[in-house]
Amino acid sequence: MLLLLTLLLQGPIRGALAGPVMQSWMTVFVAVTVQALPFLVLGVLLSAAIAVFVPASFFARALPKNPALAVPVAGVAGAVLPGCECASVPVAGALVRRGVTPAAALAFLLSAPAINPVVLTATAVAFPRNPEMVLGRLVAGLLVACAMGWLWLRLGRADWLRPPARASYEGRGRGAAFWGSVRHDVMHAGGFLVVGAMAAATLKAVVPQEWLRAAAGNPVVSVLALAVLAVLLSICSEADAFVAASLSQFSLTARLAFLTVGPMIDLKLFAMQAGTFGRGFALRFAPATFTLAVLVAVLTGAVLL
């Protein structure tokens, strides 16, 4: 019935798609999607390999015994080990379950999807004329990850965090677990990429430019607007730089807030954190992460951008 209806209305549909607004919408949507897909696939492959083939005991042995020192080491480990949001939560859960101090595991959870090599490379490609965005994203992401780890070490309570009861890939062969993880993450993250590209295209083509200029013209409103947008869109971190680059009306600092907040706390991450560590943990951890990420992004942008 849908195909028949499309055939019957192909004339009006063709006319609507030929309009300037739809042409602009499709141009932005296709550009964002095509640019981001290679980095999305590469990130999913690498994160699946790490989650399946690198044992969690490796991280436990590599981290210092002193919790305060383990936090920055875990943050740096997240910077050199590729992983998307979907992979970082179960890996952090495995670290906690195997005895790693929760503060270090949480630092890894925040840094891995925010500042890993695939994400930074994608940011450099998305902002070829603004290489300082790569440094800004690295500095802001690492600072937030370490600060949240130390904050948990200072104020966190054991009864706020419920360690996961079982491994993510228990009972499955490594090959099956790897391809299962790849299929899940490609479909899951790819869907959010499409939604993000559609939202970016809609902002560019449909929303009146006066509204965007008004929001972008106010430094406080622009930062908060893109930070909230990052939470709502829930874009995979391997692809969010291309969406941020398309929001050219906004300042680099506002877009840095978008890139800092998104990989650390969004709707899907909140659900995953609540399911892995408990609702009480997520209700405390998510607002603190959002607030700190916005503040650090603004300070980093003021210094580096």
The per-residue pLDDT for range 62-97, each reduced to its tens digit, is 788 888 999 999 899 887 776 666 667 767 776 777
Choose from 29-38, 185-194, 218-227 the range with maximum mean pLDDT.
218-227
Q: Is residue 298 part of a domain?
A: yes
**Rounded distance between C-alpha atoms, residue 12 and residue 94, angstroms:** 54
- Give me the number of domains the chain comprises: 1
User: How confident is the model at residue 145, as a pLDDT?
Assistant: 95
Identify which of 101, 62, 93 has the alpha carbon closest to the alpha carbon of residue 80: 62
Other beta carbons within 10 angstroms of residue 125's beta carbon come to 16
Looking at residue 168, its amino acid is S
Predicted confidence (pLDDT) per residue in 220-273, tens digit:
999 999 999 888 877 878 888 998 998 888 999 999 999 999 999 887 788 778
Choose from 22-26, 54-58, 282-286 the range with maximum mean pLDDT.
282-286
Predicted confidence band of residue 167 (pLDDT cuts 50, 70, 90): very low
Average pLDDT (109-113) is 90
pTM: 0.79
- What is the helix, strand, coil percentage profile of the chain, to 5? 80, 0, 20
- Domain range for 157 is 24-304
> Is the pLDDT confidence value at 299 over 50?
yes
> Is the pLDDT confidence value at 120 over 50?
yes
Q: Is residue 17 part of a domain?
A: no
- Which of the two residues, 267 and 145, has the higher pLDDT score? 145
User: How far does Cα 122 stand from its chain's mean position?
Assistant: 12
Percent of the chain past pLDDT 90, that is, above it, reads 33
Q: Is residue 12 part of a domain?
A: no
Q: Is residue 18 part of a domain?
A: no
User: How confident is the model at residue 51, as a pLDDT?
Assistant: 67
Q: Is residue 165 part of a domain?
A: yes
Q: Is residue 117 part of a domain?
A: yes
> Is the pLDDT confidence value at 14 over 60?
yes
Q: Is residue 10 part of a domain?
A: no
Average pLDDT (182-187) is 74
Q: Is residue 41 part of a domain?
A: yes
> Is the pLDDT confidence value at 135 over 80?
yes
Task: Kindly report the average pLDDT of the chain as a whole number.
Answer: 83
Which parts of 116-251 fold into alpha helices (H)? 117-126, 132-155, 174-205, 209-217, 219-233, 240-246
